[in-house]
Amino acid sequence: MSESGIMLKLNDILNATGDPVFVKDYESKFVLANDALCNLLGLSREIIIGKTLAENLPKSQMEHFLKVDKEVLESGIENECEELLTGKHGIHTILTKKTRYIDEQGNKFIIGIIHDITDKKQTEDDLKLSENKYRMLIENLNEGIWYIDKDNTTTFVNQHMAEILGYTVEEMIGKALFNFMDDDGIKLAKENVARDKVELESNMNLNLLKKMGDEYMLC
């Protein structure tokens, strides 16, 4: 098969790949780019091939890409990192894997695969924001909030609950519920938990010990 035929066959294979795939030469110029990469950038293959895309990308992004290219070409160590890429529909968060390839003539190339994780990152950021808002709400409630897991270990306690018992939040996290009770309280709590199979957000009455030794009734 001729060289042009091999290139066409390779292009067909790359275009069957859903993720953007590219090959760069030792000057970081594109020699191959599949359809997915063209769609991500919003550029035709004719514009991409033979260019570094320095003219089409923000300077900070371009400097980062060239720096990573150089490291991979010189060291031969595969690189995988999360990056920002300005494309057709704005700024994307991408996960890029770059690997060095050396042909029979000793020419060095970079083979890159891009996975667009923009939607995943947005979902994670939205979830984190929601969790932070919920945590702030609980922290500012004028009520004691205390969560224990199935092993009766404290997984969350708000500031107000900790202050009621005379502890800091850090002192309570990871401690067993029974650490805050005397022997009679432990016996009663074990009976309640075994019977109800619930956490402290249920309606259980518990006798707790404050840090200084005083009792506190949790209702």
Residue 180, CA distances (Å) to 35, 97, 145 in order: 63, 51, 15
Q: How would you classify the pairing of strands 108-116 and 146-148?
A: unpaired
Please, are residues 207 and 217 in contact by the beta-carbon 8 Å criterion? yes
pLDDT: is 172 or 131 the higher one? 172
* pLDDT above 80 for 10: no
Indicate the CATH number for domain 3-117. 3.30.450.20
pLDDT: is 105 or 204 the higher one? 105
* pLDDT above 90 for 213: no
| Span 139-218 CATH architecture | 2-Layer Sandwich (3.30)
3-state helix, strand, coil in the chain (%, to 5): 40, 25, 30
81-118 pLDDT tens trace: 999 999 988 999 999 999 999 999 999 999 999 999 99
Percent of the chain with pLDDT over 90: 46
The gap between the terminal CA atoms of the chain, to the nearest Å, is 82
Would the CATH topology of 3-117 be identical to that of 139-218? yes
Domain extent listing, the chain: 3-117, 139-218
Q: pTM value?
A: 0.60
- What per-residue confidence (pLDDT) applies to 198? 44
134-176 pLDDT tens trace: 777 777 777 888 888 888 899 988 888 888 888 899 999 999 8
